[in-house]
Structure 1
């Protein structure tokens, strides 16, 4: 490893790792298959890892074409690693959605057609996420934790209702059934802001930094070169700003382009010694913006190069 603040793993090392992966993955799969169901629900972390496994599926006929693309598997891998990074960082998993203004009702022009969104129809994911939420709720109740979150309009209760409905709509889409206007409105106004609780509790205003999802975590001290005993490196996992994902869908005989958010995952090494912190990483990710969130002029430090398995996902 060099003295750079960050660098991708050497390509020769990655090539050797990739060649050894199939055998290693099969051995790991055999070990995991012997684990009882209860082991996956022995902690929130284990349950979340089990949930991420539902993203590694084959999507054949009947699914949207973009989900049948080989590149979708790379996108799912990035989602798995991005969520794993957040899990290791021990953060709440959430996203800050964008939504349109409702308007003041004074525009006499005919209203625009109702946007037709999509719930990604991964039924195993929605079913498993519902199980994880129930597992968390049971833990809260048994240990008398966050009791307000379990009330009718508490954050976890609302989130459970949202997850359950997403699963129902996903199933309806896979069955080729039309969604109602109210169901499309549910998708359009999808909101998880209530999951970002302010430090001063309900009713407070979360600080702006809460909505900046970039974070970094060091997961291991490694030696990529067996001969470099005196030069250990720190292996980092990080997520940057979410990427914008465009997908072409055509359910209900209505071809259209949809916009969603996707993880931007990075894996890199840094020299042993001073460790990279969240504040340092966020400054690097968001330093290109001014106080009005416009991109500043001038050069900015590039982020670590993405791993080759994400090739093709971005221009």
Structure 2
């Protein structure tokens, strides 16, 4: 299966269109098999989706791939936005299948001086609150689940600083929750306040970097951090007869 197959099964009209235009749906029994997969996705209840971290991650794609109607703004109902949503979901799915952070370390630099800071600039959050709320649930569930299983404080996990990792994961979940609240305001036409703009401008990228690494991979020596080349994401999508589709 390709990434488009996965997204079509999850209900993306854009993915299905792409498959039809490239002739992928001409395979024997393809339409029937796809209909069965789509039916299985639609019949899955929320409890089933939230059973594992992997399926919870897939669950965040559903509101992103759905056709948008009221109260979403007009630009989110265009065909261009459907392709944008599909591209975003495919990127996240690739990360789910394979963590680039396992094999690379981002360039780093020391802090320096600069001009006086000004107030937060106007910002924008994609007004799709369900995506943010489901990401918040996933981050909190991972942290709470490992804590409830007694892994925090276990000496065998001291080397990866699990306590700090889980604390960062909780903070990431809180951040997603607040972004979801901002998205609700945008859909309702409620003006954003300065605190909202400050949150939008806050470095969630750096927060994600700490969550994913959090000294987890500090033992890997990656050499010159200032000249590391970009690392593409390679996702092992499926396998058959000792062959792997990437």
Task: Give ranges in structure 2 of 5+ residues lacking alignment.
Answer: 1-18, 107-111, 153-161
Q: Does 1:32 align with 2:41?
A: yes
Whichever structure has more helix as a proportion of its residues is 2
Alignment correspondent of 1:105:
116
Alignment correspondent of 1:147:
163
- CA distance in 1 between counterparts of 2:81 and 2:21 reads 26
Alignment correspondent of 2:186:
173
Q: Is the 8 A contact 1:56 1:76 kept in 2?
A: yes
Alignment correspondent of 1:162:
175
Q: CA deviation at 1:27?
A: 1.7
Alignment correspondent of 1:123:
129
Q: CA deviation at 1:166?
A: 0.2
Task: Give ranges in structure 1 of 5+ residues lacking alignment.
Answer: 1-10, 224-231, 237-315
Whichever structure has more strand as a proportion of its residues is 1
Question: Out of 225, 232, 235, which is 1:214 matched to?
Answer: 232
Q: Does 1:235 align with 2:241?
A: no
- CA distance in 2 between counterparts of 1:118 and 1:13 reads 34
2:130 is paired with a residue of what secondary structure?
A: helix
Greater gyration radius: 1
2:237 is paired with a residue of what secondary structure?
A: strand
Per-residue CA deviations over 1:150-204 (Å, capped at 9, x if unaligned) read 4xxx311211221111011111111101111232122123433133245746999
Q: Is the 8 A contact 1:196 1:210 kept in 2?
A: no
Structure 2 length-normalised TM: 0.66
- CA distance in 1 between counterparts of 2:126 and 2:21 reads 36
* Equivalenced residues, count: 203
1:216 is paired with a residue of what secondary structure?
A: coil
Q: CA deviation at 1:105?
A: 2.7
Question: Out of 41, 58, 71, which is 1:49 matched to?
Answer: 58
Structure 1 length-normalised TM: 0.53
Q: CA deviation at 1:66?
A: 2.8
